[in-house]
Amino acid sequence: MAAVGDRVQVPSKRVGQLPREGVVTGVSGGLLRVTWSSGEESTISPSMGSLMVVGRVKTGVKKGSAPAKAPSKKAAKAPSKKAAKALAKKTAAQSDKGKRAGAAKPSSKRSGAHKRSR
């Protein structure tokens, strides 16, 4: 599937015509927003073999430049004793939930399909 920034090509419908070329400017599910070399824009839903990705659009970033640094994050504080107790209590309650009488058991993906023993 094409991604934003990919150069794409749609084969021509007539013999002798050049294929249509453009750049993907947006992706939403199976729909692609394409800006064609003529300046027009289209939203298309490509099927198998109807669209070829032929490259990527070059960005203005130089090869020798260093990547931008992410801002430093402060060290996370350890949880307080009160918060640690509350968390332990919550996880214990969740683990006991399945042990109660009458609790629903998870169903298998194959309902009714059993292996036969030979």
Element spanning 81, H or E: helix 81-97
Q: Which H/E stretch holds residue 25? A: strand 20-28
Burial of 103 (0-12, 13-18, 19+ CB in 10 A): exposed
Mean pLDDT of the chain: 75
Each residue of 7-36: pLDDT tens digit? 999 998 899 999 999 999 999 988 999 999
At the top level of CATH, the class of 6-56 is: mainly beta
pLDDT above 90 (res 106): no
Model pTM score: 0.48
**Where residue 111 falls among pLDDT bands split at 50, 70, 90?**
low
What residues have CB less than 8 Å from 42, skipping those under 6 apart?
Answer: 22, 33, 34, 36
pLDDT of residue 63: 54
